[in-house]
Structure 1
């Protein structure tokens, strides 16, 4: 009987104590988990704050200036307006590739840079892949979105790697650069390593509002930077310059989305009228740009990283061709492809779809090889060699 009573008492003790033990253990686990999450958050905050690659943020004084803009509200820039793509966007497939090859099988070759052509007084354009270009206009050397680094990411271990070797060493061979134009602050357009290496040989930087904070943190003198809002115009180096709207967004880290502006660029010289769209979805602003500044001798149109999920922020190639028609581009070049994989379609699909749409719409689409220099002499013509198939 005694043993039975002892066993019953022990069971009662276990039944009473076990829930308290479990509760205590769960409480400790929750404390440990909360502490771990707090430490992770602190680490991320310190990493973003200390690491210069993330750039800088607009000051309180700058935000007060922005608050007077029509395209700024509640601490963020925004695009207003929406136009369907001729009612046919629902018919545009995400991918036409039977077998999507998202990355090239080997390194994409870069044509040998013809520095003699670039350094000549003739207007010319050289593509470095994705949205990076060197424009020679009125004997002025201009870089557009000079992302020449190896990876489109703030860290080396995560992100899309360049199809070819990085082009940072090429900066040393470049002539003095009169101006750099940045369309927005995303990593595949504004590259920390490239700017650090370029800044000593650049005369001036033209950027959308807010982007100057990144450059200043990276050592670019404030007086060497001009910021513009959409439709703002300025004169520099004998050129007429204007920032144009795009339907896109900005941001380099978790908490600063849309705190800086984005856009495309109009650059008008004596002989060449140049336009680069920047990133963005199709909308009515292209016709407005064409009406105000067109026709353009050459128009660089984004259309190489698309998906239905972000069709508001990036164009399908067919839309890119329509955008070129809207801005009245005599010749068109597709950009935002050929260097990085940022979407789920085949890496050559953008140019193949654009060529098909261009032929259908009688648009002069050129497709030079990366590194090749195109002369902008009024007789612009480059046979499409389909170099990407090799």
Structure 2
């Protein structure tokens, strides 16, 4: 995998190291910091077949249209600096220093290698791919289909300044038409600056692969985003691990944590988090506000589609953690986040109780 680092040097990519251990590797495949059970081809097939043919509970998908906040390109362009919009799943648009950045841009109808089968959207993106403003950077966490959308990348290739990706993921981007000079591939703890904003690739506990035979050939990562006095954490996909505490010690406290809270299952406890673990990750990171992501867009597990929101809301209220649950398309100020609404419920209401407004800072 040294070729990925060499590619960065050849392209004169400005990378720095944040004094941490690189991702472990063995036989051309990346590993997690902790030793996890191996997932072979047969296990992948079993999980895939079970997902396709298992009769799921009826509440895994909404029965009425999902409530969205309408938004336009002009509204985004006119919005104040340090704004954030959730567009769906783990796709978040940020405005920093007058520039735009987006995480894991997925606009496909299905999170699948084909568009005639696989997990289908609950809602259209509140802002279309063709309506996005010019992007300073696309920030990618890993190569799974619900985080890396080939057609979106192809369309964004000419409209984006830089693509920040974990090691190996950049090779896919280049094969899809992204100019090599735009691609920056980072190992864990490496950082790169884009338009004055710092991006640090930090560890996550997950896996990678877009087929049956390419498991862990590319790296996965979480991201720390620092713009002057504002610090944001983006989890990507991850199980709970002690890396959150280390990231919090090195880069916290965070003004906002974007933490995976959804598509969990007891069958894969090491690579996705239950809501209780998501909340603990936020506390480990020393976050002030938590915004749960990886939910509300695709049917990727067997829990009710509203369940992640209800569980994390109850947990946050109990722990007196400030939780932000904006509608898809609703603007959030990084300087002064707000609680949002229970928009996933039939009659959304503004969260007004003392606990619901998260009046006590995260500990």
Distance 1:62 1:368, change over 3 A: closer
What is the number of residues matched between the two proteins?
A: 313
Q: Is the 8 A contact 1:150 1:166 kept in 2?
A: no
SS in structure 1 at match of 2:143: coil
- 1:361 and 2:319 are equivalent in the alignment: yes
Where does the alignment leave 5 or more consecutive residues of structure 2 unmatched?
8-20, 37-56, 347-363
Deviations 1:220-275 (A, max 9, x none): 00010101111112222111210011110000111111000001111100232111
Match of 1:291 in 2: 249
SS in structure 2 at match of 1:282: coil
- 1:177 and 2:155 are equivalent in the alignment: no
- 1:389 and 2:345 are equivalent in the alignment: yes
Match of 1:74 in 2: 27
Match of 2:271 in 1: 313
Q: Is the 8 A contact 2:232 2:255 kept in 1?
A: yes
Q: Equivalents in 1 of 2:158, 2:319: separation in Å? A: 44
Alignment of 1:135-174 (within 5 A): 135-165=94-124, 170-174=128-132
Distance 1:181 1:347, change over 3 A: same
Match of 1:94 in 2: none
Q: Is the 8 A contact 2:22 2:188 kept in 1?
A: no
Moved more, 219-228 or 230-239: 230-239
- Would you tell me which structure has more helix in proportion to its own residues? 1
Residue 138 of structure 1 and its aligned partner are, at CA, apart by 2.0
Q: Is the 8 A contact 2:244 2:285 kept in 1?
A: yes
Alignment of 1:124-273 (within 5 A): 124-165=83-124, 170-273=128-231
Distance 1:327 1:138, change over 3 A: same
Q: Is the 8 A contact 1:122 1:137 kept in 2?
A: yes
Residue 171 of structure 1 and its aligned partner are, at CA, apart by 2.2
Residue 382 of structure 1 and its aligned partner are, at CA, apart by 2.9
Q: Equivalents in 1 of 2:5, 2:226: separation in Å? A: 30
Q: Equivalents in 1 of 2:168, 2:94: separation in Å? A: 24
Q: Is the 8 A contact 2:169 2:219 kept in 1?
A: yes
Distance 1:344 1:243, change over 3 A: same
Q: Is the 8 A contact 1:138 1:270 kept in 2?
A: no
Where does the alignment leave 5 or more consecutive residues of structure 1 unmatched?
1-57, 84-98
Q: Is the 8 A contact 2:224 2:234 kept in 1?
A: yes
Q: Is the 8 A contact 1:234 1:241 kept in 2?
A: yes
- The alignment's TM-score, normalised by the length of structure 1, stands at 0.76
SS in structure 2 at match of 1:310: coil
- The alignment's TM-score, normalised by the length of structure 2, stands at 0.81
Distance 1:185 1:125, change over 3 A: same
Q: Is the 8 A contact 1:82 1:283 kept in 2?
A: no
Q: Is the 8 A contact 1:302 1:336 kept in 2?
A: yes
